[in-house]
Amino acid sequence: MAIQPEFYLLLSAGVFCAGLFGVLARSSALMFLMSVELMLNAANINFVAFSFYYGNVTGQVFSLFVIGLAAAEVAVGIGIILVLYRNFGDIDVTEPVTMRW
Amino acid sequence: MAAFDYAPAIAVFPLVAFALALFGGRYLPKRGAIAGIAATGASLVLSLWMVLTLATGADPHQQTLYTFVAGAEGVASVDLSFGIFIDQLSALMLVIVSLISLLVHVFSLGYMNDEGETGLPRYYAGLGLFTFSMLAFVFSDNLLMSFMFFELVGLCSYLLIGFWFRDDAPSSAAKKAFLVTRFGDYFFLIGVVAVFATFGTTAFVGEESFIAMAEQAMPGSEAAVPGVVSDWLGVVGLSASQWFTVVGLLVLGGVIGKSAQFPLHTWLPDAMEGPTPVSALIHAATMVAAGVYLVARMYGFYALSPTALGIIALIGGFTALFAATMALVKQELKQVLAYSTISQYGYMMLALGGGGYVAAVFHLTTHAAFKALLFLGAGSVIIAMHHNENMWDMGGLKDRMRVTYLTFLAGSLALAGIFPFAGFWSKDEVLYETLIHGLGSTSGTLLLLGYAFGLLAVVFTAFYTFRMVFLTFHGDARTDTAEDPEPVRWNVKVPLAVLGVLATVVGVINLGAIKNFIGESNLFLHEWLFHGAEGLNGEHYEQLLHDFAGYSAADLGPLGPGAVSLALALVGVGLAYRLYGGADPDPHMTNLGSIRTLLMNNYYLDEFQVWLATGVTAPVARAADTFDQGIIDGVVNGVSSVSLFSSDRFRRIQTGVVTNYAALLTLGLTLLVLVFALAGGWF
């Protein structure tokens, strides 16, 4: 056994960066949602890894909460995307820019 | 002291009448007049009871009714309260005010109700409030309460002078009365604050009153200087007598405004635009009397300062003469009376400044009787003449208005100071007191100057009074209205008769001129005022005047000066008879030419005051406004425009693109981590 915790951290950092890139660079709202999901799961990896490392289940419980939170967030996000599509005929987030100064 | 328990009711009755007339006047008999008569009658009865209680040996009564601001315990703090103080002076004044007010209410039945005026509930409400304010002012036991009711009196005069507010003249006269007296009251207010700052109290009565403390603080008094006063004198950096002079003169500002002394007298002649009964009330008992009464009330304070006394005497004497000259040429009945009022209050101020406390109160009393009489008589004539006030349109009324003529004549004889009418005794005493103190004191020059003014004014007073009488009542009728005047009813005649008797006989309370024959102890008013509260009676004031103001009386009998003033008055009457006593008098005053124009225009003082307002005050105010708008507001606006500009630039980061917000969030988090890292020393 015994994969060193550094590897988990590296994996988690990699997944998080992928998600961050998606949020910053993509213009499709669906891609946004997926990228956010990636970032949340990167955090989950950390929770589970450290929970395992310390032999304490608190981290795993927290990851369950994060998954629940992610589900709720997706439900809201999908709703927003639907409205976005209905109003602009597209789900490109660079389109609706009227809410500014 | 059962009697004094009812003292607050003296003022409450007119207040109730005010409320009744204001809210239910439309449904009351005579539109509220009956309620007012009942209320002032009850006040009069109670006031007489107070006098009687005091006369039978009761001590003066002081009682705090309501403390609306209570200072903290144990620290230097002040209590603000309403209280009553019934002593010999205030009880006498209460009787005067409620009596005049009662007669004015009765007279108003004839002058207002019978003439079919509209808005009567408002009129009677005003009279009620006016009487209430004045009565409460009179029995105030502290200076702050006095000030509040002083202001209320001013407000009521505004309301009543402007009773016929639909015309231009009354409403502008009301405004003028309000503003001019307010100008004086401004100084009074500062004076009240100064008294608070100096003494920590404004009470009139007792060891802890500001009057008693001021006396203790004077150099040369045996008592120790109260701590609060010496602390404050250290702050101002003046000696006790200098500072008390300043405070006294500040309060005097309010007195000059209310009692219509030079140079703030200009409102009073204009106030003739109000209904005549109101003029009688204002001139005889309320409002104008308030100023003189205030000085008498705190005379123990003024007696400490020879400078303040000298100024009071000089202002009074000058005003007496100054106003009398203007009365010489007026053609309207009420205008003559208005100037005579200013002049007579000048005499009272002269007496106060000249150390004649009793003389001033005496003249206040007799003047209340004969001036109310003259105004009500004038009102009667005005009813008869269908509201024409020009004396040149009258003439010959003496046979057609017997009661009015006889009472008016009694009032005129009193005003002119002819033996044995009331005015003779009091005016003579004013002049006599001023003369003996002027001759006997080291610093008597101002008093002698005031005396000279006053003596000269006697001739003028007698002249204009009898010019008025001759023009109005004697000779041939000069118009058809004067030929057949409208008759007046009982409600006009009864007040006239009461006042006519009073104006004739009220002098007996102080027959000063013949005191060598009747004995000092038979000067009733003198005795009355010399037995007041501890430290607030004439005897104590004389002591103060002698110790601190350096006043002492010259050894001079009262007969000689009395004969001089009587002779001068007779000269005035004789001159008036010679010029206007004929069947068809000529307008002799036109011979004066440019002097007459000057007098008719009141020495152009009104124009001067208007010029002061428009030519001096308005440009200064405009300059201040420019400074305010340009410099003060400019700085504020400059600061805000900087922040407006920067926020305008700054808000441009709100692009509306979600991606940018996400990037900013990330950037911010990264920066935060970096800062923590650097600060935490991770590298």
A94, B663: Cβ pair inside 8 Å? no
Choose among A24, A93, A101: nearest Cβ to B663: A24
Q: CB A93 to CB B659 under 8 A? A: yes
Q: From residue B321, how far is each of B77, B282, B469 by CA, in Å?
A: 46, 21, 20
CA–CA distance, B185 with B290 (Å, rounded to integer):
12
- Return the amino acid letter for B17: A
pLDDT recorded at residue B4: 83
Distance from C-alpha of B124 to C-alpha of B19, rounded to nearest angstrom: 10
Distance from CA of B675 to the nearest CA of A (A): 20
Helix (H, G, I), strand (E, B) or coil at A16: helix
Q: CB of B473 within 8 A of CB of B424?
A: no
User: Contact B659/A100, CB-based, under 8 Å?
Assistant: no
**What is the C-alpha to C-alpha distance for residues B591 and B34, in angstroms, rounded to an integer?**
50
pLDDT digits (tens, 9 = 90+) for A11-59: 999 999 999 999 888 888 899 899 999 999 999 999 999 998 898 899 9
Instruction: Inform me whether the C-beta atom of residue A2 falls under 8 Å from chain B C-beta atoms.
Output: no
pLDDT at res. A82: 92
Say yes or no for a CB contact (<8 Å) between B659 and A96: no
Closest CB to A97: pick one of B651, B652, B655. B655
End-to-end CA distance of chain A: 56
Residue B457 neighbours by CB distance under 10 Å: 29
- Give the pLDDT means over successive 10-residue stretches in chain B (683 positions): 80 90 80 85 91 85 83 70 88 91 88 79 89 91 89 90 87 88 91 87 83 81 75 79 88 89 86 87 85 89 87 90 87 88 91 88 90 89 83 80 87 86 87 86 81 90 89 82 78 86 84 74 80 80 82 80 88 87 75 78 82 89 92 91 91 83 90 92 78
For residue B450, give the H/E element and its range. Answer: helix B445-473
Give the pLDDT of residue B489: 79
Residues of chain B contacting residue A93, judged by C-beta atoms under 8 Å apart: 657-659
E strands present in B188-335: none
**How many angstroms from the chain centroid is the CA of residue B296?**
12
Give how far A25 is from chain B: nearest CA, Å: 8
Name residues whose C-beta falls within 8 Å of residue A26's C-beta, 6 or more positions apart in sequence.
A32, A35
CA distance A1 to chain B (A): 32
Classify the phi-psi angles of B260: left when phi > 0, otherwise alpha if psi is within -120 to 50, otherwise beta. Answer: left
pLDDT of residue B681: 82
* Helices B357-384 and B490-505: angle between axes, nearest 10 degrees: 150
Cα separation, B428 vs B433, whole angstroms: 8
State how far the Cα of B316 lies from the Cα of B356, in Å rounded to an integer: 13
A71: confidence class by pLDDT, cuts 50, 70, 90:
very high
Task: Tell me whether residues A99 and B658 touch, CB distance under 8 A.
Answer: no
B84 - beta bridge partners?
B63, B140
Q: What are phi and psi of B328, to 5 degrees?
A: -65, -35
CA B165, CA B192: separation in Å to the nearest integer?
A: 33
CA distance linking residue B643 with residue B403, whole number of Å: 82
Residue B656 and residue A24: Cβ atoms within 8 Å? no
Q: Exposed, middle or buried, B477 (CB in 10 Å: 0-12/13-18/19+)? A: middle
Interface of B with A in 617-676 (CB under 8 A): 651-652, 654-659, 662-663, 666
Burial zone of A5 (CB within 10 Å; 0-12 exposed, 13-18 middle, 19+ buried)? middle
- What ipTM does this complex have? 0.84
